[in-house]
Amino acid sequence: MELNFPIVQVLNEEGTIVQPEYRERITKPLTMTMYRHLIRTRTFDRKCVSLQRQGRIGTYVPYEGQEACQVGSALALRDGDWMFPTYRDHGAMMTFGRSLTTTLLYWKGRTEGCVPPEGKKIVPPSVPIATQLPQAAGAACAEKWKGTNNAVIVYFGDGATSEGDFHEGLNFASVFNAPVVFFNQNNQYAISVPITRQMKTKTIAQKALAYDIPGLRIDGNDVFAVYFHTAEALERARNGGGPTLIEAVTWRYGAHTTSDDPSRYRDQEESQKRRETTDPIKRVERFMQREGWWDEEWANQVQAEVDAEIEQAVAEMERYPKADASDMFDFVFAQPTWTIAEQKEAYLQWKRGMAR
């Protein structure tokens, strides 16, 4: 089955274009834009890990190594499209227009962190696994039935394919020919569970066969492959071609979250090797050098601008007061149920006891 779903590349690890049909579309301005977003998302991710270690934000979910998946797919969207992210897709959300300050507020536990920018359809990140897939299928159906030209992208990891919501979402979208792209970031591990323990199938893309929809397997560390093939799937969706399942094969360098120790369940030397061979940023740098587009002064300027933007966002985030844990109970229903009221009272009693 792997032969039927080969990993598709546009830009290989050495920085060489391997699909000539895309060559003319890979311009210097597009490449520079992608590079800036890749640097921005990686620098932000590293800053957040540092902030968490200092106790300035809560438990954080890093994505370093998966930047091409998130940047490439988000850049393929139009303004009117929907984005249904997971808790690991803040790189995609920031690329699509969510501010860095809002993103930081989310990780500080404040409700403002769930509010999308004006005019953007970015749903708050889904922490329960795979619940966003049926929701995305429903939003796509709504756009179709309203007669718009908007499409939907929904993100999920390899572990989500073991949930019923995954199959329900794909089945619903298939039956109603919904304009949605199911974008899987296969980073090989669902927390500590390797993909070989998650499923017997050799690929995730082949699961599309059960729903009679296109399935595609791409190199998730190739920002051009992600961008062009996601854009093609979205365009097919807009034109009545229905849903697509994309499996972007990638690698998470670090921990599942900042409360996780990946060295307990995998050899971290593999991550170090991949940093030198398949890294999405180094791949673009090699390509720019081959094309004669690389400018060290420009790259340093990009890094300096990104650093300044992030530091400003951190300063803005820290001007907000600490999150109020009561928000967890007060904003579930318009009128809290008796069960939630009891939970809140139990929490407040515990809090008063801790204060003594």
Which residue in the list 252, 253, 283, 286 is annotated as catalytic?
252
Q: What are the tokens at 270?
A: 């593999």
In terms of residues, how long is the chain?
356
Q: What are the tokens at 113?
A: 């962190």
Q: Which residues pair with 17 in a beta bridge?
A: 11
What is the DSSP secondary structure assignment for residue 11, as one 8-state letter? B
Strand order in the sheet with 180-186: 121-122, 82-84, 152-157, 180-186, 244-249, 215-219
Q: What are the tokens at 322?
A: 């600490």
Which residue in the list 25, 78, 197, 265 is annotated as catalytic?
265
Q: Is 265 a catalytic residue?
A: yes
Residue 6's identity, in one-letter code, is P
Which residue in the list 229, 256, 283, 286 is annotated as catalytic?
256
Rg (CA), the chain: 21
Q: What are the tokens at 4?
A: 């039927």
CA angle 237, 206, 199 (to 5 degrees): 125
Q: Is 155 a catalytic residue?
A: no
Spatial separation of the C-alpha atoms in residues 301 and 318, rounded to whole Å? 26
| Strand ranges (E), the chain | 82-84, 121-122, 152-157, 180-186, 189-190, 193-194, 215-219, 244-249
Q: DSSP of 29-56, one letter per residue?
A: HHHHHHHHHHHHHHHHHHHHHHHHHTTS
Q: Which residues are catalytic?
A: 252, 256, 265
